[in-house]
Amino acid sequence: MKRNSWQEYQKEIADDHYFYVRSCIRQNFFPGSEAAFLNILRNDLGRDVGEEARHTSCTGIGYHSDIVPLETIMTVVARQFAMMTEAGYEHFTSSCITSFGIYSEILETWKEFPETEERTREYLYKATGREFKKPKSLAHTSDIIFHHREQIGKQAVRPLVNVETGEPLKVVEHIGCHYAKLFPKSGIGGSEFPYVLAGMIESWGGEVVDYPERRHCCGFGFRNYLVQANRGYSIANSQKKLESMAPYKPDFIVANCPGCTMFLDKWQYAIAEMEGTTYGPDGQGIPVLSYEEMAGLVLGYDPWELGMQMHQVAVEPLLDKMGVRYDPAAKYLARNGKYIGQPEEAAVNLRCTSQPIIRKL
Amino acid sequence: MVQFGYNISQPRAINMDKNDMMISQKILRTMPELQTCIACGSCTATCTAGAITSFNFRKVHTLVRRGEYKGAYEEMNKCMLCGKCRLSCPRGINTRGVVMLIKQELGEYR
Amino acid sequence: MSKRVIVIGGGVAGMQTAATLAGLGIHPVIIEKGDRLGGKLLNWHKLFPTFTPAGEVLDTLRRQLKDVEIMTNTEVKRIEQSGVVLNDGRLLVSDAVVVCSGFDIFRAEIKEEYGYGIYDNVYTTVDIERMLNEGKVHTADGHIPERIAFLHCVGSRDEKVGQKHCSRVCCITGVKQAMELKELFPQSEIYNFYMDIRMFGPGYEEMYRQAQEEFNIHFIRGRISEASETIDKRVQIKAEDTLIGRPLKMTVDMLILIVGMKAGASNDRFAENRGIELYPSHFIRPRNQFVDNICSSAGNIFYAGTVTAPKNVGESLNEGVAAALRVSKYLED
Amino acid sequence: MMNYYDHFILPFAIGVTVLFTVILYKWIRWFVRMPQEDRRLVLRGIPTRQTLGAIGEVFMESLLHRRIWRVNPLLGYMHTSLAFGWFLLIAVGWVEASLQLPGEIIPLHAHVFFKFFAPEVDYGITGGLLGNIMDLLLLFVLSGVALAWFKRMRSKALGMQRTTKHVLGDRIALAALWFIFPARLVAESATSGLKHSTTFLTGNLGEWMVNTFGTEAIMHFSVYAWWFYSIVLGIFFVAMPFSRYMHIFTEIPLIFLRRYKVHSYEKAKSFDRFQIEACSRCGICIDPCQLQKDAGITNVQSVYFLRDRRYNRLTQEVAYNCLMCGRCETRCPVGIELNTLRLNSREKFAAMPADNRYAYLSSAADRSSGTSKVGYFAGCMTLLTPKILRAMDAIFKAAGEEVWYADKDGGVCCGRPLKLSGEVEAARRIMDFNRDLFRKHGITTLVTSCPICLKVFREDYHLKGIEVLHHSQYILRLIQQGRICVEHGHNSFTYHDPCELGRGSGIYEEPREVISQIGSLLEVDENRENALCCGSSLANIAINDAQQNRISQALAHELADTGADTVVTACPLCKKAIARNASQEVKDLSEVVAEALGQ
């Protein structure tokens, strides 16, 4: 790919001592990913990541759905910053792209309209008695993985290569809209050719697939999804992307936004059930991974440890291609060995639910 | 197939890769002057039918030129062929001829 | 001894200025940064609206420059009252200076969303002129294009790339090239995506009409928002058909970006002279736009051609004559 | 009984048989397929005076070609000599044969080859006289043939700028026709020479032939000459029902049917065939056609239209490309209803189902204002010429007339443009809406400024109890009743007759009378029935703007040549079309009147 322009959009990413805030969607649907992020950073890379159990949702979903006013969300964000300040950190990192967009937007608003920052400080103090410092740097967690991608590459046990053919895996990357479309300078590679995930893929031996609808939204769209009658618009967007990428026969999709990961995965199930269309080989779906899961697989983590059984589209075909060893029987067992239930048979997971389940009660 | 209480919306975009351009091309071959429309809208502004309906001659023929034929026949049937548009067209397009042509090419009875 | 006048730039405006000066018995010196005279026209194929080969115009101008002193591969660093300072530090003394340094072509790479330099089948109008000159117009893998899209106003009327002005000549260039390509590939469909069509010159509107009616070139009002490459290396483009009010997408074999005129990079350096002022667009602002539209505030510095604003070849040539006459009048006084 | 057979008569006999078989087949077929009401008209008409009139008309038109004489005497002579001359040759020849040939039963063909079968040609006093009469008649016909040849080469001398471009079948029939009478002359002369006839033409020519070439040679030659004569006759007769010469026999029933009030109608029907095949392709319709003269369109004129329609190869392009100005119809020597035939040919191209059309026309579309017994319908085009609206307002005010304005703030089209485009059924829906509107508002007089509307109101609306007037008629009435006064000034005017008002509705004098009360009227060369069309006619769906403009230029030029200060017309469409190219002011009649209103 003659794509070098990403280098014109670089941003400062701190090397260590991050204050980590979680994502509503990721912690509910991909809890293994957040755990993996912390493990990779702390254990594999030896970095310091601080956390605060009392931090809340950024309320971005409510904000984008017109039910949380601007003043409120600014105060909530200020509270998160106060937590960071109290914990003695300066580098703020968020797991969620929506939150990342919210933080970027609010910091930018405070810069342009300092009186709003003043008012927010006042609201926060009145409500909680807290005070805060603005973070020195703001990064999305994918920025941080990108920052350490070479080191992860060095420690890689399973590069993104098809073990049978020796060919690099073809990876479709999807960047959440609020990563760089709000402020192109806030994302690595800008908004047109973001490089944050592509950089990881290339460093870990995979091949990035550029396809026509690459920049298109996954269709989450907050209000479009939240109102059932509007979901047709939401799903149509995912379908547009899937149709556009299917001819390239990608091995998997990786996204940096929790919402996108969820919708690209779950809408494949819905489309298959509603229309009978699937986009992967042999009537299956295209597996959708979070970048934490991708990094985890590269570093040799167990797929069920990474929470990949939570996916709607079965990941086993990909694991087989990568040569990942896994216990099919353990897929739907919790850490304590308890059966966690399993999805009904569906087109996108057909071959992978027919395995006999050993119930260990 | 499973019903989840919503459908997959059809894209609103005019997809020039999927649209069948044959009829549109034939219409333009027959009346190349239609291509000179500069969308001034005077036809629609003066339209006798347009004054009492939503008929928009300019928009309908533009859609037809893009291969969007659905509903064009029905829309063109609102025209009374009075000819005011032809008098007002700065490009000298035979607008009544266009109406007749589009109806002929898109009428289902053909 | 005849007076010495430095003409900066050996494009059409500079050539015309020098030729007229020489005819008036004045000693012009053309300073050209390239290795030969002709400027942008060296790369142009045919000129609108008459499809005159660019070479014909240059040949006529060259013939009038037989005895004119020409310094090629030479660049001017600054303009001073006594003359010009070259890049190598030499001072060339002169009685007057005519700035004919022209314009720069907008770098299409900056409009990253159109994928110029990234996708194989995205071209600029400058590329097409070159390809027409070489007699080789085809897609990157050597095929005859079946569908071609032109995009008007790339680097014109675009705040996002600091080009607020209208480059004027690109509209008619897009029409001209569309007609040339239609003639080469009669079976192809050609679409011109435009924001406004501005046909300011004589015969331009007639040519636009001819392109529509006789060449069946489709004009769609709407700016392409993004381009992306498909699996077969074609280019998928998205725009709104604003006359319908619906988004539109199509895949084309060639996407041709009609690039605009950017103010010459040297204008900023020249403007260090207090007598030379710039517009916000960085084109040079003449003393006024009417009776002194080829004069600077400094008495002995004059302008001709696109250094002051986007112009077509004919207008630039006229300014060459006008500037030479004003120089001559200045030297007499 | 004498033997009247020789092998050479076979081509002729076959030809005649084919001719009459085909003609009878066609007539019967057309007649049987005619709608019930048409057939009833015919049956009711036969015992009336119309039949006698028709016989007279057949004589005047089919034989003497009276109407062509009016176009150009030389052209008329040509047609008379060929048609009437041939008829007399047959009639007198028959007398001659029955008087002079021996035998009880003389077969029909015997007179055709009389000289061959007659034992002695100048038999008795009657024989010599009849022989000379026959020679004279042959000379008469031959003079027509000579003129026909001349016409092919120099049509202008016969008053025609252009002649018809014929199809192959026509050319064969024409060539045969050209040879029939010269062949007859040669064959008869040869036999006359051998039989020592003394008639002035064939006798003398025969004598000269025998003297020059010898009896032996002429004996051989005469056999070939009679064969040739029979063959060209045979060819002509076979070609006749399939070529333009079908008109010779079709015009006769057409004259009768027309006398019985059978007419063509907005929808195609069987009677149309009688009109279509009655066209002789004389090409008189080509010259008056402005599409040909000014716009360079040469394949759509009525002659070509009828030809294409006859042979079932009518294209939409030809059907649509006609201004329906009626200039050709007024000149057609056969009196074919050209506009109606053109109109009813369009339905098959425009056959749009009418169901659900114009369902949007409801009471909501009533945007009329005012209350009065007098209604004013401006018409769509008048809404684009507000000066006419203003002028009419001023006139109404001056006359103290309360008016119900049907469409001042926008109305519904009168339906005629749609009808002209062949969408007859759909047009009916629009007409119904407007008629209901007129009824609802209880008007008894309906004034319109648009001749297009006028024509359709009068012909298709069936507005019983409502008097429909064009504003020119209405204005004249106001002046005559003294309800408005106009002042006579020094301005000179020329008047352009709109097609739909003049030829279409027969209104020629009212506008002229009004103008002459205001100023002097300078006529253009071609006026009234011969007036030019402005080119903007809504009847033409195919013409492009440049062609329309050329027609308008030519008209504007004619009007300017009168030297009048102002061009006056009485149709908003004509006004706009002329103003496009006029060098002087162009006004509607109402404007001129409004400006001249006195106290």
ipTM of the complex: 0.87
Distance from CA of B40 to the nearest CA of D (A): 17
pLDDT at residue number C2: 79
* D309 falls within a domain: yes
Which residue of B17, B35, B66 is in closest CB contact with C251?
B17
What percentage of chain A reaches a pLDDT higher than 90? Answer: 79
Q: Record the pTM.
A: 0.89
Would you call D41 helix, strand, or coil by DSSP?
A: helix
Distance from CA of B75 to the nearest CA of A (A): 27
Report how far residue C193's alpha carbon sits from residue C242's, in angstroms, rounded to the nearest whole number: 11
Report how far residue B83's alpha carbon sits from residue D452's, in angstroms, rounded to the nearest whole number: 12
Give yes or no for a contact between C138 and C145, defined as CB atoms under 8 angstroms apart: yes
Report how far residue D233's alpha carbon sits from residue D221's, in angstroms, rounded to the nearest whole number: 18
pLDDT digits (tens, 9 = 90+) for D520-538: 999 999 999 999 999 999 9
Whether residue A131 sits in one domain with residue A37:
yes
Chains A and C touch each other (3 or more Cβ pairs < 8 A): yes
Task: Give the Å distances, CA to CA, from A35 to A38, A156, A293, D513.
Answer: 5, 18, 10, 102
What percentage of chain D reaches a pLDDT higher than 90? Answer: 75
Whether C229 sits inside 8 A of A3 (CB atoms) is: no
Enumerate the H helices of C144-214 as residue ranges: 169-184, 204-213
With a cut of 60, say whether residue A353 has pLDDT above it: no
Q: What subunits make at least 3 CB pairs under 8 angstroms with B?
A: A, C, D
Enclosing domain of residue D497 = 486-596
Whether C244 sits inside 8 A of B66 (CB atoms) is: yes
β-sheet with C218-221: strand ranges across: C122-124, C254-259, C147-154, C189-194, C218-221
Whether C213 sits inside 8 A of B13 (CB atoms) is: no
| Lowest mean per-residue pLDDT among C115-124, D171-180, D354-363 | D354-363
* A150 falls within a domain: no
Q: How far is Cα of residue D207 from the mean position of the Cα atoms in its chain?
A: 48
Segment D286-302 shows an average pLDDT of 95
Segment A111-132 shows an average pLDDT of 97
pLDDT at residue number B1: 76
Whether residue A216 sits in one domain with residue A132:
no
Mean pLDDT of chain D, nearest integer: 92
For residue D403, give every residue at least 6 positions away whose Cβ sits within 8 Å of its Cβ, in sequence order, or none.
D370, D372, D374, D375, D376, D396
pLDDT digits (tens, 9 = 90+) for D163-182: 778 888 888 898 999 999 99
Whether residue D369 sits in one domain with residue D337:
no
pLDDT at residue number A360: 39
Pairing assessment for the beta strands C4-8 and C96-99 based on DSSP bridges: parallel
Whether residue A160 sits in one domain with residue A128:
no
Which residue of B52, B84, B96 is in closest CB contact with D380?
B84
Enumerate the H helices of D441-564 as residue ranges: 451-460, 471-480, 509-516, 545-561
Structural domains of chain A, count: 2
pLDDT at residue number B109: 44
Report how far residue A135's alpha carbon sits from residue A339's, in angstroms, rounded to the nearest whole number: 43
Whether D351 sits inside 8 A of B88 (CB atoms) is: no
Enclosing domain of residue A85 = 12-141
CATH of the domain at D319: 1.10.1060.10
* D405 falls within a domain: yes
Whether residue A252 sits in one domain with residue A342:
yes
Whether residue A54 sits in one domain with residue A176:
no
With a cut of 90, say whether residue D397 has pLDDT above it: yes
| Lowest mean per-residue pLDDT among A206-210, B1-5, C119-123, D363-367 | D363-367
With a cut of 50, say whether residue A361 has pLDDT above it: no
pLDDT digits (tens, 9 = 90+) for A15-27: 999 999 999 999 9
Closest by alpha carbon to C235, among C248, C218, C253, C258? C253
Q: Is the dihedral of CA B44, B47, B52, B56 positive or negative?
A: negative
Q: How far is Cα of residue D581 from the mean position of the Cα atoms in its chain?
A: 30
With a cut of 60, say whether residue A84 has pLDDT above it: yes
Whether B6 sits inside 8 A of A276 (CB atoms) is: no
Which residue of B48, B92, B97 is in closest CB contact with D412?
B48
pLDDT at residue number C67: 84
Whether A3 sits inside 8 A of C109 (CB atoms) is: no
DSSP structure class, residue C165: S
Instruction: Tell the CATH topology of C108-261.
Output: FAD/NAD(P)-binding domain (3.50.50)
- Chain C hits for B21, Cβ within 8 Å: 189
CATH of the domain at A312: 3.40.50.11810
Whether residue A164 sits in one domain with residue A137:
no
* A27 falls within a domain: yes
pLDDT digits (tens, 9 = 90+) for C46-70: 999 999 999 999 999 999 998 899 9
Torsion of CA A38, A43, A49, A55, to 10 degrees: 30
- CB atoms near residue C144 (< 10 Å): 12
CATH of the domain at D500: 3.40.50.1860
Whether residue D534 sits in one domain with residue D588:
yes
With a cut of 60, say whether residue B110 has pLDDT above it: no
Q: Of B35, B80, B108, which to mutate for an interface test with D (greatest number of D Cβ within 10 Å)?
A: B80
Give yes or no for a contact between A315 and A305, defined as CB atoms under 8 angstroms apart: no
Structural domains of chain D, count: 3
* D513 falls within a domain: yes
Segment C118-133 shows an average pLDDT of 97
Whether residue D437 sits in one domain with residue D393:
yes
Radius of gyration (C-alpha) of chain D in whole angstroms? 30
Locate the domains of chain C by residue range: 4-102+264-332, 108-261
Which residue of B32, B58, B65 is in closest CB contact with C213?
B32
Whether residue A174 sits in one domain with residue A82:
no
Model confidence at C184, in pLDDT bands (50, 70, 90)? very high
- Chain C hits for A236, Cβ within 8 Å: none
CATH of the domain at D378: 3.40.50
- Chain B hits for D423, Cβ within 8 Å: 81
* D465 falls within a domain: yes
- CB atoms near residue D301 (< 10 Å): 25
Report how far residue A274's alpha carbon sits from residue A279's, in angstroms, rounded to the nearest whole number: 14
Cis peptide before C49 (omega within 30 of 0): yes
- Chain D hits for B88, Cβ within 8 Å: 384
Torsion of CA D258, D260, D263, D269, to 10 degrees: -110
Segment C32-56 shows an average pLDDT of 96
Distance from CA of A211 to the nearest CA of C (A): 6
DSSP structure class, residue D247: H
Whether residue A69 sits in one domain with residue A126:
yes
User: CB-based contact (8 Å) between D353 and chain B?
Assistant: yes
Give yes or no for a contact between D454 and D506, defined as CB atoms under 8 angstroms apart: no
Q: Is the dihedral of CA A287, A290, A293, A299 positive or negative?
A: positive
Report how far residue D82's alpha carbon sits from residue D146's, in angstroms, rounded to the nearest whole number: 10
Task: Give the Å distances, CA to CA, from A196 to A360, D319, D509.
Answer: 42, 67, 88
Whether C216 sits inside 8 A of B39 (CB atoms) is: no
Helices and strands of chain C, counted as H and E runs: 7, 22
Instruction: Tell the CATH topology of C4-102+264-332.
Output: FAD/NAD(P)-binding domain (3.50.50)
Same CATH fold, C108-261 and C4-102+264-332? yes
Whether C112 sits inside 8 A of A211 (CB atoms) is: no
Helices and strands of chain B, counted as H and E runs: 6, 1
Whether residue A233 sits in one domain with residue A132:
no
Closest by alpha carbon to A259, among A311, A294, A214, A222? A222
CATH of the domain at A84: 1.20.1050.140
pLDDT digits (tens, 9 = 90+) for A22-67: 999 999 999 999 999 999 999 999 999 999 999 999 999 999 999 9
Amino acid at C134: E
For residue B14, give every residue at least 6 positions away whose Cβ sits within 8 Å of its Cβ, in sequence order, or none.
B63, B66, B67, B68, C241, C244, C246, C247, C248, C249
With a cut of 60, say whether residue A355 has pLDDT above it: no
What percentage of chain C reaches a pLDDT higher than 70? Answer: 100
Report how far residue C132's alpha carbon sits from residue C44's, in angstroms, rounded to the nearest whole number: 9
| b/e burial code for range A71-91 (CB count within 10 A of at least 16 → b) | eebbbbbbbbbbbbbeeebeb
Locate the domains of chain B by residue range: 39-106
| Lowest mean per-residue pLDDT among B94-108, D106-120, D557-571 | D106-120
Q: What subunits make at least 3 CB pairs under 8 angstroms with C?
A: A, B
Segment A238-254 shows an average pLDDT of 96
Domain end (from D415, D450, D477): D477
DSSP structure class, residue A167: P
Closest by alpha carbon to D252, among D232, D284, D274? D274
With a cut of 80, say whether residue D162 has pLDDT above it: no
With a cut of 60, say whether residue A354 has pLDDT above it: no
Mean pLDDT of chain B, nearest integer: 93
